Amino acid sequence: MHLLRALGIQLVSWIVALFALRYTITPPAGLGSVVIMQAGIAGAFALAMRAPRWWVMIHLLFSPLIVITRTLAIAPAWYLAAFVALAAVFWSTFRSRVPLFLTNQATARSLLQALPQDRAIHLVDLGCGTGGLLRRLALSRPDCTFTGVENAPLPWLVARWTNRGLPNVTIRRQDLWAVDLGDFDVIYAFLSPVPMPRLGRKAAIEMRPQALFISNSFTIPGMRADRVIDNDPAARPLHVYGFAARRGKNGRTVVEPEAELRADSTALSGDGHGLIAE
Ligand SMILES: C[S@@+](CC[C@H](N)C(=O)[O-])C[C@H]1O[C@@H](n2cnc3c(N)ncnc32)[C@H](O)[C@@H]1O
């Protein structure tokens, strides 16, 4: 839900609740009743607008929590500190809709097995978080090079620290949309469903023909993965895409999964999964 729309819902709910319980009845209702009504109206608005469930919860709890915390003797500096800490961790999550959560050990093992074994590769982790995955990969594959890209300040700092002293890891503070995917042999992403359509188009246009795009959990809409690695119950599914890009006459890039992957029977998942990128 857009931030301005969310604030609008809160504001309108306050106006309705105040008018209903404070300004049109005598004696006016207490603050507690107003807040309960405001929360109910805000939650109902969010439901009516088909907001995701977690937004409904936020609307229900937002004003009651403000009122409750105002009764606690907590110095304002603590709120500021909590805000700064959360902003440093989650940074642009409100816009990107990609929060911080980490690839688990079992999935890291699956990813290691999915990497080409016969040659040294350069892998980029788009949104590398605290960099633990890159450290694990870099220690297991000292022959390969790893780049992590992260835009949130605190995870980026932690990733730099986690990977200090590893000569085959570079951590960049950068927006993933500014990364040229053509520089890498393997592109790894563990993001959310929201950026996947755009990321799929970017990958299709920029990736080297032999490169692999590996997405933890989230698929590229409209394009079937060449291979889904999902044989460990403790691991998240890895969706592996290869691309062979051809320029059409109209300047659009027609992209098909890499033929080499199709020939691999263990990697096959079917036909009809071409993608046209604008
Ligand atoms: C789900 S976490 C994945 C962390 C890590 N790749 C892993 O698998 O353990 C996604 C990360 O992407 C980062 N992120 C989201 N949007 C980004 C962007 N536009 N540019 C760079 N990083 C971004 C978030 O800050 C978050 O740390």
195 lines ligand 1 (CB under 6 A): no
176 lines ligand 1 (CB under 6 A): yes
Confidence label for 22 from pLDDT (cuts 50, 70 and 90): confident
| CB-CB contact of 130 with 162 (8 Å) | yes
Q: Are residues 149 and 255 in the same domain?
A: yes
101 lines ligand 1 (CB under 6 A): yes
171 lines ligand 1 (CB under 6 A): no
Q: Find the mean pLDDT for residues 201-208.
A: 93
Ligand 1, atom 13, lies closest to the CA of 127
Q: Residues 245-269: pLDDT tens digits?
A: 544 555 445 555 443 333 333 333 3
| Domain membership flag for residue 11 | yes
What does the alpha-carbon distance between residue 189 and residue 278 come to, in Å, rounded to a whole number? 21
> Is residue 178 over pLDDT 60?
yes
Q: Residues 89-125: pLDDT tens digits?
A: 887 777 777 888 999 999 999 999 999 999 999 999 9
Q: Are residues 14 and 111 in the same domain?
A: no
Q: Quote the ligand 1 centre to 179 CA distance (angstroms).
A: 13
Q: Find the mean pLDDT for residues 192-201.
A: 94
| Domain membership flag for residue 98 | no
| Domain membership flag for residue 83 | no
Q: Are residues 117 and 63 in the same domain?
A: no
110 lines ligand 1 (CB under 6 A): no
Q: At what angle do helices 132-140 and 153-162 cross, to 10 degrees?
A: 30
Q: Are residues 109 and 204 in the same domain?
A: yes
| Domain membership flag for residue 99 | no
Among 38-42, 66-70, 146-150, 199-203, the range scoring the smallest mean pLDDT is 66-70
Q: Are residues 127 and 64 in the same domain?
A: no
Closest CA to 213 of 231, 226, 222: 226
Q: Are residues 109 and 69 in the same domain?
A: no
215 lines ligand 1 (CB under 6 A): no
Mutate to test the pocket of ligand 1, among 89, 91, 98 (most ligand atoms within 8 A of CB): 98
What does the alpha-carbon distance between residue 214 and residue 258 come to, in Å, rounded to a whole number? 13
Mutate to test the pocket of ligand 1, among 96, 134, 194, 213 (most ligand atoms within 8 A of CB): 96
Which atom of ligand 1 lies at the shortest distance from residue 149's CA? 21
| CB-CB contact of 243 with 255 (8 Å) | yes
Question: Which structural domain range is residue 41 located in?
Answer: 3-73
pLDDT at 247: 44
> Is residue 57 over pLDDT 60?
yes
What is the C-alpha end-to-end distance of the chain, expressed in Å?
Answer: 27
Q: Are residues 49 and 140 in the same domain?
A: no
Q: Quote the ligand 1 centre to 131 CA distance (angstroms).
A: 10
> Is residue 138 over pLDDT 90?
yes
Give the percent of the chain with pLDDT over 70: 87
Total-model pTM: 0.77
Which of residues 73, 92, 118 is at a domain's end?
73
To the nearest 10°, report the CA torsion of 120, 124, 125, 131.
70
User: What total number of domains does the chain contain?
Assistant: 2
- CA geometry: angle 158, 104, 224, nearest 5 deg: 115
pLDDT at 251: 46
191 lines ligand 1 (CB under 6 A): yes
Which residue type occupies 144? C
Which of residues 58, 73, 88 is at a domain's end?
73
Ligand 1, atom 9, lies closest to the CA of 102
Strand residue runs (E) in the chain: 122-126, 145-150, 169-173, 186-189, 212-216, 227-229, 238-242, 244-247, 253-256, 275-277
Confidence label for 237 from pLDDT (cuts 50, 70 and 90): very high
Q: Which residues contact 261 (CB under 8 A, 6 or more apart)?
A: 226, 227, 240, 242, 267, 268
Closest CA to 164 of 148, 177, 150: 148
Q: Quote the ligand 1 centre to 150 CA distance (angstroms).
A: 6
| Domain membership flag for residue 244 | yes
Q: Are strands 227-229 and 169-173 parallel, antiparallel or unpaired?
A: unpaired
